Amino acid sequence: MKAIYMGLFFVGLASLTFGCSVAPDGSAGDPLGSHDESGIAVDQADSRPQLVRRGFAIRDFRVIRDEYGRVHVIGEIENVGDATRGVELQAALRDADDRLLAVGHFCPAAGSNIAPGEVWPFTYSFGRQDQGTRAELRIVDAFRSMGGPDPVASAR
């Protein structure tokens, strides 16, 4: 288990080094790369623009397949708006014929608020998906969490 966490850590570190990969059509798409000797697949970044929606921007988006065949999306999202809010993301996995294999909704900050200018990491696992060749990421919604005190609202 420790080896898996270390592998995800190093892949996350590599993703920060290589930048973002986001599709211009309102969703972020990233094909699964080819395996290297470590068994982890990472696609190299390209020059597509970042996805910005509902006051949030995807700053980094990577897809990996670990040595057990599990597919994970990892990246970072930034609050580029002027209000402290939470965000809901949707990850989708498709096969070579563009058929939808799996979809998952998640909140990177676990339902907490993200302050303006703050960057928050995210990860989502599809589990073992042998047929997956491409992943997509969408910003579904932004919301105001009631989970705790809002430092911006308290200062006013």
Strand segments (E) across 7-150? 28-31, 52-53, 56-65, 70-79, 86-94, 100-106, 119-128, 134-143
pLDDT reported for residue 51 = 83
pLDDT in tens, the chain (156 residues): 455 444 544 444 343 333 333 333 344 444 554 333 322 233 334 434 478 888 899 998 899 999 998 999 999 999 999 999 999 999 999 999 999 999 999 988 886 789 999 999 999 999 998 888 889 999 998 888 765 555 555 444
pLDDT reported for residue 141 = 87
pLDDT reported for residue 89 = 92
Comparing CA positions, the residue from 4, 105, 109, 121 lying closest to residue 64 is 4
Please state, in angstroms and as integers, the Cα–Cα distance from residue 145 to each residue in 60, 88, 91, 142, following that order.
24, 11, 21, 10
The CATH number of domain 2-147 is 2.60.40.3230 = yes
